[in-house]
Amino acid sequence: MFAASGISYSIDSARLLRDVSLTLSPGEVVAIIGPNGAGKSTFLKVLGGEIQPTDGIVSMEGRNLVSWGRQALARRRSIMPQSSKIAFPFSVFEIVMMGRSPHAVSEESEIDYDIAGAAMARTGVNDLALRNYNTLSGGEQQRVQLARALAQIWTGPKHTLKDSHSDRYLFLDEPVASMDPSHQHETLRIAREFSQHNVGVLIILHDINLAAMYADRIAVFNQGELVADGEAVAILDEHLMLEVFGIHVLVQRHPTLSCPLIVALPEEIAVRSDLITARQERLSEQARKSST
């Protein structure tokens, strides 16, 4: 289990995180949502060990993060950064292979090539293997970075690495920001797929509907605080959305899935939302009557 307890972080007098506690278990997908500047990325940096919290403890498998060896940690926890340019023209395959470097002591083995290839196939960047990373579009670059993060914690049946079957963690920082809709869904499918193989997945998302559809739990950040943490059905409602994001929404039932569907409303309509809900209930009642 990956656990952050009582995390606070401040720079100068600004408190960026205030007493945040969140756990991530292997097998679950947790989405973090929140407005800009709510502390989502800062929190991810704390979880990644990049910055030391002023207060609180981050632990993996019950051991404080700082007591883990760099390589042992890198083999079990990978982080996909927000989009990044690189200084030199590396090929896509080279970038993805870098994800295997915690496993390859000196030279990459056949297994590492296979895994990098499989990771690229899974994120659909196979055809780009020999392209220069910097010439790709933003969405393609994100899929390459995703493939790199996947390759880093990828294990297959024939791999006999010492800690290959232990629990692993995948942190994604706005992985779908530049992707088209089909790749956005594919990315979240991949996240779910990995979660079924002893991987705990933490995703920062802006699209609340994506989060509601794919995440087991949603953690809502606002002004450096964790204001809600739970199943989408349980926590997403009009009040929370207005309070945290300052937007008026209609929380609907997803027509085919068992998750809520958030529909944003322009402010002038929002005040009449009670009427809309009433009308919808009337319509659905009529439909039920006519079917019986």
- For the four alpha carbons of 49, 52, 58 and 59, in that order, the dihedral sign comes to positive
Residues 229-288 that bind another protein (CB under 8 A): 231-233, 253-254, 256-259
x-marked contacts with another protein along 32-51 as a string, rule CB under 8 A: -------------x--xxx-
Residues 155-184 that bind another protein (CB under 8 A): 155-158
Query: Which lies closer to another protein via its Cβ, residue 77 or residue 248?
Result: 77
DSSP state of 245: H
- For the four alpha carbons of 180, 186, 192 and 193, in that order, the dihedral sign comes to negative
Q: How far is the CB of 58 from another protein (least distance, A)?
A: 14
Considering only 3, 57, 98, 240, the residue that binds another protein (CB under 8 A) is: 98
CA angle 87/188/22 to nearest 5° reads 90
Residues 74-93 that bind another protein (CB under 8 A): 74-75, 77-79, 81, 84, 86-93
Considering only 127, 180, 243, 285, the residue that binds another protein (CB under 8 A) is: 127
Q: How far is Cα 97 from Cα 114, in angstroms, rounded to an integer?
A: 10
DSSP 135-148: GS-HHHHHHHHHHH
Q: How far is Cα 178 from Cα 180, in angstroms, rounded to an integer?
A: 7
Stretch that binds another protein, among 30-38, 190-198, 236-244, 279-287 (CB under 8 A): 190-198
Query: Which lies closer to another protein via its Cβ, residue 61 or residue 243?
Result: 61
**Contact indicator for 267, 248 with CB cutoff of 8 Å:** yes
Residues 6+ away with beta carbon under 8 Å from 164: 155
Q: Which tokens go with 258?
A: 């068992």
Which residues lie near another protein (CB under 8 A)? 45, 48-50, 70-71, 73-75, 77-79, 81, 84, 86-95, 98-99, 101-102, 113-115, 117-118, 120-122, 126-127, 129-130, 132-135, 152, 154-158, 189, 192-194, 196-197, 216, 231-233, 253-254, 256-259
